[in-house]
Structures are given as structure tokens and as C-alpha cells.
Amino acid sequence: MTGHSRRIVSGALCGALLLFASRWTPAHHSGVMFDHSSQKQVTGTVRNFEWTNPHVWLWITVVDDKGAPAPYAFEGTSPGEMSRRSGWTKNTVTAGDKVTVKYFPFKDGKNGGKILAVALPDGRTLDAAPGPGPPPPH
């Protein structure tokens, strides 16, 4: 095989690999693990708030009707989208804050789901659902 032929084959293989790998990229953002036909709400105490890409995570402890603490995990959108949409920052919630989370639950029945909105201790409610949000500033 000549050098020119190797480059052509190598380029074709790289292109095929990129095309093959890109088929799974949308699945990550499909939201298939959430039940979009049901919205729930819980109130609990913030355990941890992970302000990281690609998705923000909010961990709270909810006390059930028997008085037992149960951990809940909530996935948000990206930090950039949450800050643009409704002013979220890495300091919006801190450990110990009491919050109420509105969410799409996990389909598998685990505690938590996709954050839609969070009512904060200061009375504000911040949106966290994906979508167009408010128009950008001029």
C-alpha cells in the first residue's frame, strides 16, 4: 500500500469511527431515564450541590413519614444554562438549606429525578428546566 492509499484508508476509517460514535451522543441528553408524564415535589435539607459540567447535581435529605432520612438526587442542566435561565450560581444553595424541589421522577423508582424548579429558603423559586428561558440581555 502506498503512502497516499494509507492516508485515504486512514481518513475513511477515522470518518467511519466518528460517524459511528456520534450515533450515541444524543442518547446522553435524551432524558429517557425520567418520567416526563409525572411531576413530583419534595422538601428536604441540602446535603450537597455540585456545580459542574455537564450537569448540575443537587443532593438533599428528605425525612419520610416514618421519620427516617432518605437521600434524593436531582440532575439539573448545565451550570451555564441554569445561570442564564434564572440566575443560579454555585452559591445558590449550600449544605443545610431547606429547599423544595419540583421534578420529573426517575423511571426506575429511585429517589430523585430531573430538576424543574427549586424553592429556596429566601422565598425565591428558581427555574431549572431546560428550554428557551428568558431572552438574552441586549
pLDDT in tens, 7-30: 665 555 545 444 444 444 444 556
Domain ranges of the chain: 40-127
- What does the pLDDT read at residue 42? 98
pLDDT of 59 > 80? The answer is yes
70: cell is 432518605
Q: What DSSP assignment string belongs to 34-67? A: B-TT--EEEEEEEEEEE--SS--EEEEEEE-TTS
Q: What is the pTM of this model?
A: 0.74
- CATH 2.40.50.1010 for the 40-127 domain, yes or no: yes
Summarize pLDDT for 78-123 with one digit per residue, the tens.
999 999 888 999 999 999 999 999 999 999 999 999 999 999 999 9
